[in-house]
């Protein structure tokens, strides 16, 4: 189970893969449609899809000439159960945390 959790969390660590999962919440999508909003090659998107597939977070199937992606929400169940174990902690005040980070890690934009 630990290896499965590691694989799921590693897949979720990338913002592009999280965005893909969010898109697939709506409906199944063709690979080309998944790739459309991203400024990267179809080959790069395909690599992300392979990682999501290996983690069990999505499945892919061919329908005619088109490869489709489908969200597999059950794959998140073990990760969700593991994270619920931390539910005894107070919720984080994200606004206060953001202010703290702004003070501790000033941006280089100024």
| Domain boundaries defined on the chain | 2-104
Per-residue model confidence as pLDDT tens digits over 5-36: 899 999 999 999 999 999 999 999 999 999 99
pLDDT on residue 110: 45
Mean pLDDT for the chain overall? 87
Q: Which two tokens stand for residue 23?
A: 């898109």
| Class (C level, CATH) for 2-104 | mainly alpha
First and final C-alpha spacing in the chain: 46
Residue 27 burial (10 A CB sphere; 0-12, 13-18, 19+): exposed
Q: Read off the pTM.
A: 0.74
């Amino acid at each position: 189970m630990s290896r499965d959790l590691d694989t799921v969390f590693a897949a979720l660590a990338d913002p592009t893969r999280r965005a893909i999962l969010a898109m697939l919440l709506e409906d199944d999508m063709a690979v080309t449609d998944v790739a459309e909003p991203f400024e990267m090659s179809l080959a790069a998107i395909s690599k992300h899809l392979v990682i999501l597939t290996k983690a069990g977070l999505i499945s892919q199937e061919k329908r005619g000439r088109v490869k489709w992606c489908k969200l597999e929400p059950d794959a998140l169940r073990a990760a969700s159960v593991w994270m619920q174990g931390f539910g005894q902690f107070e919720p984080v005040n994200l606004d206060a945390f953001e202010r703290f980070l702004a003070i501790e890690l000033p941006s280089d934009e100024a």
